[in-house]
A and B are shown apart, each in its own frame.
Chain A
Amino acid sequence: MLREMRAAVVTFPGINRERDMAIALTRSFGRAPRMIWHRDTDLSGLDLIVIPGGFSYGDYLRCGAMAAHSPVMDAVRAHTARGGYVLGVCNGFQILTEAGMLPGALLRNAGLRFLSSDCHLRVERTDTAFTSHYQRGDIFRAPMAHGDGNYFADDATLDRLEGEGLVAFRYAPPTGNRNGSARDIAGILSPNLRVLGLMPHPEDLVDPLLGGEDGKPLFDSLAATLAA
């Protein structure tokens, strides 16, 4: 008998991919996630918190910097302390780094332009709740849509991330690393492997009609882990 999984999508003013994320989660989980407004702080009973993409507070300060100080983020920290799972995509990844929940920062794209196109990602490890339905070394497509996706951290941090196996995804050929990210990093994990942040949008590629299902294994992985 499978346990009922409880996922929630947190939205801040200016977030705009919450519907895409809800669709992808519903497809893999078989039920719709709870939608949580950033002023709500009760995250009890949830297994997975997702912070989706968009332009929280317009990105008018630094991307994610305002949202990182929203009351709900203390509740998200408490959720991770309880061993809960967190997924941050695009602006969600930026918010997680601004909140100090993941190391490093997302700088302006190297070409100083917004980049919207499919990119290719290589799966670096498959023994995580987010990646178990991929094969190691798999290269999959995902749309990217960001102006500030250039992952940066100091060398010591990058060495540690790589040494501890916390790089989840890297940009890979044929499209390669278009935003200038250090060591081609597209997504990273927390040391307990329960927090994932990544820039591209697997949630926008979960339907053959929309160009493919390359992103679906990520959500299927979560569904399988959380149901176990």
Chain B
Amino acid sequence: MTTRPVDAVLAREFGLNAEEYARVLAIMGRTPTLTELGIFSVMWSEHCSYKSSRVWLRELPTRAPWVIHGPGENAGVVDIGDGLAAVFKMESHNHPSFIEPYQGAATGVGGILRDVFTMGARPIANLNALRFGDPGDPRTRRIVDGVVRGIGGYGNCVGVPTVGGEVNFHAAYNGNPLVNAMTVGIAPRDRIFLSAAAGVGNPVVYVGSKTGRDGIHGATMASAAFGEDSAEKRPTVQVGDPFTEKLLIEACLELMATDAIIAIQDMGAAGLTSSSVEMAGKGGVGITLDLDAVPQRERDMTAYEMMLSESQERMLMVLRPDREHVARAVFEKWELDFAVIGRLTNSGRIVVRHQGRIEADIPLAPLADQAPLYHRPTMPPPPPAPCGEVADTVGLEAALVRLLGCPDLCSRAWIWDQYDATVGGQTVKRPGAADAAVVRVEGHARALALTTDCTPRYCAADARAGGAQAVAEAWRNLTAVGARPLAVTDNLNFGNPERPEIMGQFADAIAGMAEACRALDFPVVSGNVSLYNETEGRSVLPTPAIGGLGVLDDAARAVGIALRPGLDLVLLGATAGHLGQSLWLREVAGQEAGPPPPVDLVAERRVGDFVRARILAGTVAACHDVSDGGLLVAVAEMALAGEVGARLLPGPDGLAPHAFWFGEDQGRYVLAVADSAALLAAAAAEGVPARRLGSAGGLDLTLPDGATISLPVLRRRHEQFLPDWLEG
């Protein structure tokens, strides 16, 4: 514990620059106390204030008739019909997951769950978007193992099924993995709980776990790049307790069925500071906190430590004073701490008392309104060099085998098998069964479709095209199960915003996302920004991960990717044979080059709406979008999922076979149907490009050049990489 004087040097160590510290002095009219400096520094950290990103985030479309609450609340809320709302958000826990993979990932899951049940929703699904370093880097194996165990350890215990997600590997993530966790919950649409405090004199109540010294200044750590000393930051990582979280979920939902709660907010990043400041600030009231009443797990904690602790599984509530006893009884039943730690005031200030002393007294309005907001310089990223014609030297069969076994395309079963995907008894499409996970709403025919998507190598080559592609692919994956895409949560993972080329990537990615969200009526309703993802000056690939949510009125209409014998395969959407930034180019030709495939948003929508209508009409047995690896990989994945082979016809004249079968042109789907003639006719009538690819049957995949691969051989190749690497 520091006894140093509060000055500009200490402020710098707390992450405030000279200009920001001068602003603190101006607001306070005096030198702040240590606790006050701590409060300013975390509230004005990049993680809490979005000071570098806010000016750009405004460009994203956030409205639609079905949006109930967009960005600004704990999570986004959309109307899904039947009087129900889906509440969802994605959030990063990148920095902690590098320092301590198990706890970093586990507490990431815990934090995003709290964002959702804080709003009154029962969590029904978790997803996670993970980016790891090169499998050849000695650190990567330990990080993958720890992150996967951590996600499973937390999610399995709280009893929320982990139903989907994505994983990529790239050397750019060697020192900085990305762990983005998404939670989706369901609430009655007229029973959404918000965080704006109201009612002078009302009690401010602390519930959940006790406060310890863990995670102090975690938000500040999450707002800085890593140097060689990052391992020394382990004490800033929190420790998760999923059992307490489970109790907290049940206790909060039980209390939410009464009329006791006026406002509620979880204690996430910057713990008691951000929850109390945000609740009072949003409500336009003041707040006093008596830290002597805070349940504490360690002795002799100071005000500074308690205000900045990021101990997990804690919530702050404002209650109706005449219902305090109701709330206390609920939390006592669940054996959780319950303490009145303050009151709302009309002072417009946060006043923190501890052991008879006032440790902080800050006006709330300037703390929020005068928070730094930067329009940082941007430098447009250079356009990608064209990759030109790349000849095929290996043939279709060898390329397919190599691609299906490579880290970015191999089976994720080793990971899924560690996540409970069925708890809750509503999982209609489990991981790997369909392009999006499908989870039914208990007691209803209705189901949600859920996906996470981003292709970082596209974003690195062209952030604008990559941003649009990430949104389009999420929309496509929801469409491919038959769902109506409703809205997006985003998790924007980028490098150091003080570098103009990084801010250029950020601005471009937002522009591409905004364009696609508008064209597809797919607004952004919640999200999270994670900057400073770099270690020793090396930035991660720009990774704007998109979490997509769609709805199926009838879960029974959902289709998966598994082929069945006797069906015809039909490709929908246009193919130009785009090999730039494709996995074929990287894995087979050894180049990471060229522009990413362009996204034609008009065609995207036309083809997708056509596919969805055919699925809902019941004429499609299986559907898979064409993404990483291209068409042949998509067909092989369908064959493996269905344990049925296929015989493929040659591609069009004038297009090299490898470009047709491995190009990553966007906006395409492979459909398995009984009546391909009817499908081709319907597509022609609506101006949707369509082409019959072949038919399903047998136990071999027969390529158009006559090569034959047996499915068991293909499966072994597809499934061996992760277990061999991680268990070997």
Using a CB–CB distance below 8 Å, which chain A residues touch chain B?
A: 13-14, 16-17, 19-20, 23-24, 53-55, 57-60, 111, 113-117, 143, 145, 147, 201, 203-204, 207, 209-211
CB <8 Å contact, A16 and B243 = no
A-B contact pairs, 17 of them (CB 8 A): A13-B334, A14-B157, A57-B243, A113-B417, A113-B418, A114-B149, A116-B416, A116-B421, A117-B417, A145-B420, A145-B422, A204-B423, A209-B428, A209-B556, A210-B422, A210-B426, A210-B427
CB <8 Å contact, A17 and B418 = no
- Nearest chain-B residue to A15 (Cβ)? B159
Check A58/B426 contact, CB under 8 A, given A113-B418, A209-B440: no
Give chain B nearest CB distance to A205 CB in angstroms: 8
How many Å lie between the Cα of A209 and that of B447 in the bound state?
A: 11
- Nearest chain-B residue to A117 (Cβ)? B417
CB <8 Å contact, A16 and B152 = no
How many Å lie between the Cα of A17 and that of B335 in the bound state?
A: 20
| Docked complex: B376-429 residues within 8 A CB-CB of A | 413, 416-428
* Interface assignment of B241: CB less than 8 Å from any CB of chain A: yes
Give chain A nearest CB distance to B659 CB in angstroms: 37
How many Å lie between the Cα of A75 and that of B86 in the bound state?
A: 40
Check A16/B246 contact, CB under 8 A, given A204-B425, A210-B426: yes
How many Å lie between the Cα of A76 and that of B246 in the bound state?
A: 25
CB <8 Å contact, B422 and A58 = no
How many Å lie between the Cα of A16 and that of B249 in the bound state?
A: 11
Give chain A nearest CB distance to B140 CB in angstroms: 18
* Interface assignment of B82: CB less than 8 Å from any CB of chain A: no
CB <8 Å contact, B157 and A58 = yes
- Nearest chain-B residue to A143 (Cβ)? B422
- Nearest chain-B residue to A178 (Cβ)? B417
Which single member of A13, A24, A57, A58 contacts B425 (CB below 8 Å)? A24
Check A210/B425 contact, CB under 8 A, given A14-B157, A54-B159, A116-B419: yes
Residues of B within 8 A of A147 (CB): 156
How many Å lie between the Cα of A147 and that of B418 in the bound state?
A: 9
Residues of B within 8 A of A117 (CB): 413, 416-417
CB <8 Å contact, A17 and B159 = yes
CB <8 Å contact, B423 and A145 = yes
CB <8 Å contact, A115 and B417 = yes
Residues of A within 8 A of B149 (CB): 113-114
Check A58/B242 contact, CB under 8 A, given A13-B335, A17-B423: yes
Give chain A nearest CB distance to B243 CB in angstroms: 3
CB <8 Å contact, B152 and A114 = yes
How many Å lie between the Cα of A167 and that of B157 in the bound state?
A: 28
- Nearest chain-B residue to A142 (Cβ)? B422
Residues of A within 8 A of B153 (CB): 114
- Nearest chain-A residue to B554 (Cβ)? A209
Give chain B nearest CB distance to A200 CB in angstroms: 11
> A14-B246, A20-B422 are known contacts; what are 15 more A-B pairs with Cβ within 8 Å?
A13-B243, A16-B159, A17-B159, A55-B159, A55-B242, A57-B243, A58-B242, A59-B157, A59-B243, A114-B417, A115-B417, A116-B152, A143-B422, A145-B156, A204-B423
- Nearest chain-B residue to A204 (Cβ)? B422
How many Å lie between the Cα of A111 and that of B418 in the bound state?
A: 11
Number of residue pairs A-B, CB distance < 8 angstroms? 95
CB <8 Å contact, A20 and B418 = no
* Interface assignment of B705: CB less than 8 Å from any CB of chain A: no
Name the residue in A113, A114, A116 with the highest tally of chain B Cβ atoms < 10 Å from its Cβ. A116
Q: Which 5 A-B pairs have the closest CB atoms?
A: A16-B159, A58-B243, A20-B425, A145-B420, A55-B157
Residues of A within 8 A of B421 (CB): 116, 145
Check A116/B422 contact, CB under 8 A, given A55-B157, A58-B157, A209-B556: yes
Using a CB–CB distance below 8 Å, which chain B residues touch chain A?
A: 149, 152-153, 156-159, 241-244, 246-247, 334-335, 413, 416-428, 430, 440, 442, 555-556, 727
How many Å lie between the Cα of A117 and that of B431 in the bound state?
A: 10
Which single member of B152, B156, B420, B442 contacts A19 (CB below 8 Å)? B442
CB <8 Å contact, B243 and A60 = yes
CB <8 Å contact, B246 and A55 = yes
How many Å lie between the Cα of A115 and that of B149 in the bound state?
A: 11
Check A14/B156 contact, CB under 8 A, given A209-B555, A210-B428: no
How many Å lie between the Cα of A143 and that of B153 in the bound state?
A: 18
How many Å lie between the Cα of A191 and that of B149 in the bound state?
A: 38
Give chain B nearest CB distance to A204 CB in angstroms: 5
CB <8 Å contact, B423 and A23 = no
Give chain A nearest CB distance to B471 CB in angstroms: 30
Check A55/B425 contact, CB under 8 A, given A13-B335, A209-B556: no
How many Å lie between the Cα of A55 and that of B427 in the bound state?
A: 20
Residues of A within 8 A of B156 (CB): 55, 114, 116, 145, 147
Residues of B within 8 A of A54 (CB): 159
Give chain A nearest CB distance to B145 CB in angstroms: 9
Give chain A nearest CB distance to B718 CB in angstroms: 16
Check A58/B417 contact, CB under 8 A, given A13-B335, A20-B424, A20-B425: no
CB <8 Å contact, A201 and B555 = no
Give chain A nearest CB distance to B98 CB in angstroms: 22
Give chain B nearest CB distance to A165 CB in angstroms: 30
How many Å lie between the Cα of A102 and that of B74 in the bound state?
A: 46
- Nearest chain-B residue to A39 (Cβ)? B333
How many Å lie between the Cα of A54 and that of B247 in the bound state?
A: 12
How many Å lie between the Cα of A61 and that of B371 in the bound state?
A: 46
- Nearest chain-B residue to A58 (Cβ)? B243
Residues of A within 8 A of B426 (CB): 210
- Nearest chain-B residue to A23 (Cβ)? B425
Residues of A within 8 A of B428 (CB): 209-210
How many Å lie between the Cα of A53 and that of B246 in the bound state?
A: 14
Residues of B within 8 A of A55 (CB): 156-157, 159, 242-243, 246
Give chain B nearest CB distance to A79 CB in angstroms: 24
Residues of B within 8 A of A114 (CB): 149, 152-153, 156, 417-420
- Nearest chain-B residue to A57 (Cβ)? B243
- Nearest chain-B residue to A21 (Cβ)? B425
Name the residue in B159, B241, B418 with the highest tally of chain A Cβ atoms < 10 Å from its Cβ. B159
How many Å lie between the Cα of A116 and that of B420 in the bound state?
A: 5
Give chain A nearest CB distance to B637 CB in angstroms: 18
Check A203/B425 contact, CB under 8 A, given A57-B243, A209-B556: yes
